[in-house]
Structure 1
């Protein structure tokens, strides 16, 4: 039954005339005029008259389209060879066919009792069916034969092997089929174009009701969409959406080229059908793109969760692998060390045995605090901790703050820190790209997406992953059969402090004014490690203000502090001699031309060494330089003199003759302040801190950035020109940065040209300071003099200003007198 009855006229053809319903038209329809039969073109796959792709029928012939003979989409793979229509017809007329052969399905659908004769079979592989051309008696119509075959299939359905849910269907072809061999896959949507059947007449656009009446017989229709009224697209068209693709295939093959005249219309319309890709409404995608303020944070959170779930276990594994590799290679690296260096260090460690024992004992106690090893640069703190205190420890992780802080940019800082702990993989460069994306999104939506992470969050992530790996390393040796196997992990680590790894944070507070966030996060991380009993932490620092940042992380703990000073003259002498012992034991070289030190020469050097050690001091690095010079044959006096000369040249280059134009804004001290300290320390060795603060050179400096006296002293101490000693928690005295600098200061004062030049600069600044004071006094006196009457109350102020002016002027006169003598020295000395 055809739903709906829309009247229209079928195009005039032999045997068809007058207004007919669709059902009536189907019964009386014959296609086309007599034309010659189409020829088989199995050679190239093209069919139809003159290979045009159209098939025509002779009188008393018609065409059926049989559906569901081939599987869709894979037909070209299963049946790849060209089909010869004459061969298919022979197979159709044969007595036995395989059930897998599509021709057998056609033969079963058209039984032998049917009054038709199949004259041609044209397969449509991409559409899964075939055209069957047949001849029928003159006393019957094609519509009657279609009805009989439909009843037969209804009673005895034919189910193909590849599609058990849909049987064979067939329908009469009403239009003029077009057998194109283009690569167009069937779709459930049909584009129905309305074209003119005659060139002189415009086509009529069919209504949705008419389209429904025409196409509903081929299957369930999901929707019919007409062209918008204001559309300029020609030819006019409409979309017919079927529920099933097989139904759209049947409709397209049966109705393509169908010519009709709708009731009330004067023109004939031809239907031109093609498959159309249905554009599905992307509701989800549209919502995502229209709500970036909600979606972008969700995506960022998802990416963060994905990163944590996937990469964090991998990074934790690499941290543990890094510790394992360091443990396995430590013995090899220790074996390859030079024995010459070890001999001298062993002598040093012998005298610091109590310090070594103190630190080792603290690592065997379950005390949740830090061990801080503090000492000036070159005091041997790193060698003492790593080579002596921790030489028997299996798991040691060293974080060198110098490399992390001196890295360029945030990406470099993250990369260096990750390298220190074995954190892999690290995508520090991605953060730069993410930052640009974040900035672009913020500029367009007004909301920061959060794709990029700042330096602080990435440092915390690296340290947290490292802490998790350290905990696993601490628990790696735990077994179920242990007597304390019933303890929790935290209780087990608290009961076995010897099982915990040791984290050494070297060069802590190195350039503390740069990237202070690194030190803050390292301090917090170290506090979490010791409080959770995950690891012991040892800080190595040369900065005396280490207690401030560490107290913020552990405010209720007392640090185990170890201070390393300079060696005493006796220990320093023993250290230098121990450095020479390997040469003496080795004797002559293999060629016999380079003898070691003889006993007589060694005794002579020892007599000189007592005097030289007092001048050189007990700084470990300076003693090592002295030992190396003695090894190459220099006498102790000559070696020490060269070291002092080199130190004096270093001070002159870095502090006294520094180019003021280069980096002047970065310095917090002036050349005049540095020379003032050199002169005072050279004559007194130790000067009071408050005395320096009250001097005009520090309190009234005219150099930009050096006006803050305390900041200038602290900056010079960081540069190691001086050392500030504390008493009762406050700065007390100032001494040379290292012992050899005391001798270097005296050496600088012995150079008449250097002394005259630097004194001239110092007196020049002092004269300018007094001149500035005079200018201020004169300006105030000018204001007082401009008063209409001179009140007696201002007399004391006027006398004070006049006395100050006179005092400053007398100082300037004295300075200029001294400056004249210095200029004379500079003009005479070379």
Structure 2
């Protein structure tokens, strides 16, 4: 069976039908004959009244023409560009497409019938008898097989047909600008229904006309002369000479796809023999998908130094356009707490109602202990509040030792009830591991999201790979400083919008610009609280510089007020660099006085007992009784004066004391436990610790240096800074990393073992890190084992220092002894070295004597 081989429709008068063969191939039962006046339709040859279905080539899939017969290809009968659509429609077969077109075959739409187009394209006086019509829907045309008289030729008929169509073009409904064209089929057409859609490129294969012969490869001149008649040729590409692909082939590129369709249908199977050749060659044509040159991709790969920076700039611009508004929105929501359910009115109402039920209708009063503390610092709180109401372009720095209550003072008292507050805690940012962790913690602190911190590592690898291949850094990855700067800049833009949220068009100063409005209304500005500033300065110190510069931008542009909370005395260095021409508003928080500390502890106990008595009275169903405080119930509170003097006025230690008193401990017992706990912490962290810091690096101080300070401060309240520096334990330490005495003292101060007090801008005195440490130092000195062990270590190091001094003196004496004739000028130096050697030796003997006694103590004590 020949696929797709059907007659379109009868060209005869209405009522004249088609006779079907077994193969589904239709033959027209008419002959288009030549008469003088009119066309005459007659039936074709019949055998015993039946249509002859023995058509040659049915089983081979080719069309064969007998003598005095010829085949002409008509194109532009179907839409060529829709061939792929009709090919994959549910009916799929090309033979079904004429059935679809029958819907247009009506009295009013008969002009759209493809068979009618063929009828119109053939002049009436042309001597040809049509035998068969075979549609080729995917190629947009049809084969027309006809019989012609002996006095003419097929070429003459096709020439007259072309002249007629040129003078009287027949244009189908879908192509109003191009008519039907024809071509004489010279080869042997192959009827196939493969999914090979028409293309403008033809693959011309040269195969042997006979099996025993080797075909010749046609030259480009011959190919051009053969194919040029069907349309404009863009290029002819021959097979590479060294190619071993068989059969040999060449590519013919037409300008238009319709010309390639005509050439393929007319020349497929054409046999020719070039001049001078003894072998005939058959042409086998097929459509070929033309591979378009990837000019853009080739230019990109050949110019990475230009393309990669442009690509990076495009990605950066896309990120700014798309993600920055989203990030600003989340920062605003974080500052205003608009997305937090706990800050909503419904949650607060439910919390109040639940609290009322649990407290039997009476709400708990706020802790009186903190009221007592804050009433003591009322002037300080009012001063900070006043500063936030004034347009001062400077920082507010609240400095105090750890546990002085600076954070509670600012967030609860100064900023209590204020909505536009952003709290940036530097401690988790500095303590985070790796760049990704630092970026994530900083972004979380300011509400910056989405953040793709993990992409930086991938970008770094890509940047390294591109640099290795092109020799130029692509700039895909950003360092930690640039990413921190980006987060802070986005936060600054969001804070400005937050500060302007209270502005209304009905205000009297609505005509002012945003900057002028913020300058005129300092009370509307947001407040940024930077906590734990200068927490650690060893690593990631640049983050403090970036935060200081960001804070300076906020106050200089009247975007927000900035409050720093710090325990480090060196905070002025980065802040002075950020605001060199401004005076920083500094507030110092010290330890509480004895009276205030005692009142604070008693107030904490009163608040606790008020709640307990209230619950007891309600449980008994009686009327409320007068509330009795611990001072009225307990007789041991008279010990508080002595205990608080030992404990000091550090807020955190006072809170620990109050909690211990609430559980029933006596003041002396509670203070003793606190001192014991502090002594244990000092012993674990400073005296018995390995030579490694918490972050894995070497410590800048030694255990012997810490013990010297503990031993010295146990007997006196303060030490002279320079006197400590001159002691051999600091000046000549043999511990790696502890060779610098100044760095050792600063490191111990950062670890809160000691506090360094300054005078006139220079370090002057050394005190315990907390008031309770004074008693803890004494407690450690009272432990004979600890004292003996640490003294033994200290004497051992001092002895090693003296041994080292003796070795240096002996080396120099050896050099002097080698001088010729023993010059008299060296006698003074020799005597000096001998005296120094003698002094060191006496010290070593004294140290060994002390060490012997300490070893005896360690041998007896458990």
Question: What is the TM-score when the length of structure 2 is the normalising length?
Answer: 0.87
Equivalent residue number for residue 453 of structure 1 = 478
CA distance change for structure 1 residues 410 and 85 in 2, over 3 Å: closer, same or farther?
Answer: closer
User: Post-superposition shift, 1:680?
Assistant: 0.7
Deviation at 1:244, TM superposition (A): 0.8
Which of 564, 568, 573 is equivalent to 1:548?
Answer: 573
Query: What is the number of equivalent residue pairs in this alignment?
Result: 788
Q: Which moved more, 1:298-307 or 1:366-375?
A: 298-307
Q: Which moved more, 1:353-362 or 1:199-208?
A: 199-208
C-alpha distance 244-48 of structure 1, shift in aligned 2 (>3 A): farther
Matches within 5 A, 1:771-782: 771-782=803-814
Match of 1:525 among 543, 550, 555: 550
Aligned partners of 1:87 and 1:159: how far apart in 2? Answer: 18
Structure 2 distance, partners of 1:672, 1:95, is 112
1:743–1:673 CA distance, 2 compared to 1 (3 A): same
Deviation of 1:601 after TM superposition, in Å, equals 5.9
User: Any conservation in 2 of the 1:41–1:84 contact (CA below 8 Å)?
Assistant: no
Residues 24-83 of structure 1 deviation map (CA, whole Å, 9 limit, x = unaligned): xxxxxxxxxxxxx994369xxxx9935432222233332222212222232325683535
Change beyond 3 A, Cα 1:723–1:599: closer
**What does the per-residue CA deviation read over 1:257-277, in whole Å, with 9 as the maximum and x for residues that have no partner?**
111112222221111111112
Query: Residue 4 of structure 1 corresponds to which residue in structure 2?
Result: none
Report which stretch shifted further, 567-576 or 150-159.
150-159
Work out whether 1:155 is the aligned partner of 2:180: no
Residues 97, 137 of structure 2: 8 Å contact kept: no
Q: Give the distance between the partners of 1:180 and 1:507, measured in 2 at CA.
A: 82
Q: State the partner residue of 1:502.
A: 527
1:610-630 Cα offsets, whole Å, 9 max, x none, are 111111111111111111111
Change (3 A) 1:600 1:680: closer
1:478 maps to 503
Matched residue of 1:731: which SS? strand
Structure 1 counterpart of 2:650, from 612, 619, 629: 619
State how 1:309-324 maps to structure 2 within 5 Å. Answer: 309-324=321-336
Is 1:562 aligned with 2:587? yes
Equivalent position of 2:34 in the other structure: none
Change (3 A) 1:437 1:51: farther
Deviations 1:382-438 (A, max 9, x none): 111111111132211111111111112111111111111111111111111010011
The residue aligned with 1:123 is 135
Structure 1 residues 109 and 449: CA distance shift in structure 2, 3 A? same
Deviation for aligned residue 1:134: 2.5
Partner in structure 2 of residue 356 of structure 1? 381
Instruction: Report the CA distance shift for 1:83/1:599 in structure 2 as closer, same or farther (over 3 A).
Output: closer
Higher mean C-alpha displacement, 72-81 vs 547-556: 72-81
SS at match of 2:151: coil
- Using the alignment, how far apart are the partners of 2:770 and 2:365 within structure 1? 25
What residue in structure 2 maps to residue 814 of structure 1? Answer: 846
Kept in 1, the 8 Å contact 2:102–2:113? The answer is no
Contact 1:218 1:250 in 2 (8 A): yes
- Where does residue 858 of structure 2 map in the other structure? 826
Residue 61 of structure 1: aligned partner: 69
State whether structure 2 residue 441 is matched by structure 1 residue 429. Answer: no
**How many angstroms apart in 2 are the aligned matches of 1:762 and 1:87?**
109
Please give the alpha-carbon distance, in whole angstroms, between the structure 1 residues aligned to 2:606 and 2:834: 72
Counterpart of 1:790 in structure 2 is: 822
**2:140 matches 1:134:** no
What SS does structure 2 have at the residue aligned with 1:346?
A: helix
| TM-score, structure 1 normalization | 0.90
For 2:56 and 2:831, how far apart are their aligned partners in 1? 127
User: Mapping of 1:212-361 within 5 angstroms?
Assistant: 212-325=224-337, 329-330=342-343, 342-361=367-386
Show CA shifts across 1:779-802 (max 9, x none). Answer: 211221222222221121112111
Q: Secondary structure at the match of 2:635?
A: helix
Is the 1:681–1:742 Cα contact (8 Å) retained in structure 2?
yes
Deviation at 1:687, TM superposition (A): 0.7
Separation in structure 2 between the aligned mates of residue 564 and residue 86 of structure 1, nearest angstrom: 94
Equivalent position to 2:196, from 184, 194, 202: 184
CA distance in structure 1 between the partners assigned to 2:98 and 2:724 by the alignment: 116
Alignment pair present for 1:608 and 2:639: yes
Deviates more, 1:450-459 or 1:328-337: 328-337
Deviation string, structure 1 residues 666-709 (Cα, Å, up to 9, x no partner):
20000000000001111011111011001111001111111100
1:709 aligned residue: 741
How far off is 1:767 after superposition?
A: 1.3
More deviation, 820-829/518-527 = 820-829
Asked whether the equivalents of residues 631 and 637 of structure 2 are also in contact (C-alpha less than 8 Å), the reply is: no
Contact preservation (8 Å) 1:365, 1:497 = yes
What is the DSSP-based 3-state SS (H/G/I as helix, E as strand, rest coil) of the residue aligned with 1:666?
coil
What is the rounded CA distance, in whole Å, between the counterparts of 2:589 and 2:599 in structure 1?
Answer: 18
Aligned partners of 2:822, 2:378: CA distance in 1, in Å? Answer: 78
Q: Structure 1's 562 and 109: CA in aligned 2 closer, same or farther, altered over 3 A?
A: same
Give the aligned partner of residue 537 of structure 1. 562
Note if contact 2:429-2:438 (Cα within 8 Å) is conserved in structure 1: yes
CA contact (8 A) 2:94 2:136 kept: no
Matched, 1:628 2:659: yes
Which of residues 608, 612, 625 in structure 2 aligns to 1:587? 612
State whether residues 267 and 285 of structure 2, in contact with CA within 8 Å, keep that contact through their aligned partners in structure 1. Answer: yes
CA contact (8 A) 2:87 2:94 kept: no
C-alpha separation in 1, matches of 2:503 and 2:96: 81
Kindly provide the CA deviation profile for residues 704-744 of structure 1, in whole angstroms up to 9, marking residues without a partner as x: 11110000000000000000001100001000000111110
1:315-357 deviations in Å (ceiling 9; x for gaps): 1122122223269645779979996884322221111111111
Contact 2:148 2:154 in 1 (8 A): yes
Contact 1:40–1:86 (Cα < 8 Å) also in 2: no
Going from structure 1 to structure 2, the CA distance change for 1:121 and 1:347 (only over 3 Å counts) comes to farther
Partner SS state of residue 337, structure 2: helix
Paired with 2:840 and 2:545, the residues of 1 have a C-alpha distance of 48
1:586 Cα offset (Å): 2.0
How much has 1:213 moved relative to structure 2? 1.8
User: Paired residue for 2:186, among 174, 178, 192?
Assistant: 174
The aligned counterpart of 1:739 is 771
1:27 is matched with none
Distance of aligned partners of 1:577 and 1:100 in 2 relative to their CA distance in 1, 3 Å threshold:
farther
Distance 1:116 1:324, change over 3 A: farther
| Counterpart Cα distance in 2 of 1:318 and 1:115 | 85
In structure 2, the residue matched to 1:21 is none
Distance 1:668 1:398 in 2: 32
Structure 1 distance, partners of 2:778, 2:736, is 29
Q: Which residue of 2 aligns with 1:200?
A: 212
Confirm or deny that 1:727 pairs with 2:753: no
Moved more, 445-454 or 203-212: 203-212
Does residue 106 (structure 1) correspond to residue 118 (structure 2)? The answer is: yes
CA contact (8 A) 2:720 2:765 kept: yes
Is 1:757 aligned to residue 789 of structure 2?
A: yes
1:384 paired to 2:409: yes
CA distance in structure 2 between the aligned counterparts of 1:767 and 1:310, rounded to whole angstroms: 69
Measured in 2, the distance between the counterparts of 1:464 and 1:699 equals 46
Distance 1:86 1:80 in 2: 8
Greater Cα offset, 484-493 or 440-449: 484-493
Question: Is the Cα–Cα contact under 8 Å of residues 373 and 563 in structure 1 kept in the other structure?
Answer: yes
| Root-mean-square deviation (Å) | 2.8
Q: 1:681 to 1:340 in 2, by over 3 A?
A: farther
C-alpha deviation, 1:587, in angstroms: 3.4
Q: Is contact 1:682-1:746 (8 Å) kept? A: yes
By how many angstroms is 1:199 displaced? 2.2
Mapped to 2, the partners of 1:662 and 1:472 lie a distance apart of 43
**Residue 771 of structure 1: CA displacement?**
1.4
> Residue in 1 aligned with 2:87?
76
Offset of residue 661 of structure 1:
7.1
Counterpart Cα distance in 1 of 2:113 and 2:23: 23
Give the match for residue 766 of structure 1: 798
1:600 CA drift (Å): 6.3
Retained in 2: the 8 A contact 1:431–1:452? yes
Q: Which residue in 2 is equivalent to 1:33? A: none
Q: Provide the rounded CA distance (Å) in 2 between the counterparts of 1:525 and 1:517.
A: 12
